[in-house]
């Protein structure tokens, strides 16, 4: 059995075994959200937009190859 979490919480690397995590850049997500909010305040609401953030898989001891 393998275990992974969706955010790289600071405690993920402290668990036994270390938990594999998907690191999402929270500061960048916040920056983009504020930028979008300011654009809406300045020029009125606009349609929905989609943005992609770079993510990184941090493979740790909680995941491995499936048993044969």
Minimal CA–CA distance to 17: which of 57, 48, 60?
Answer: 60
Determine the pLDDT at residue 60. 87
**pLDDT tens digit sequence for 9-43:** 766 667 778 888 889 899 999 999 999 999 999 99
Q: What is the pTM of this model?
A: 0.66
* Per-residue DSSP letter, 66: P
Q: What are the structural domain ranges in the chain?
A: 4-58
Q: How confident is the model at residue 67 (pLDDT cuts 50, 70, 90)?
A: confident
Minimal CA–CA distance to 36: which of 22, 19, 51, 52?
Answer: 51
Q: Is the pLDDT of residue 66 over 80?
A: no
């Amino acid at each position: 059995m393998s275990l992974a979490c969706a955010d790289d919480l600071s405690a993920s690397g402290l668990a036994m075994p270390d938990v594999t995590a998907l690191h999402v850049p929270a500061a960048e997500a916040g920056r983009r959200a504020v930028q979008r909010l300011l654009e809406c305040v300045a020029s009125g609401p606009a349609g929905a937009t989609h943005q992609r953030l770079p993510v990184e898989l941090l493979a740790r001891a909680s995941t491995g190859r499936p048993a044969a």
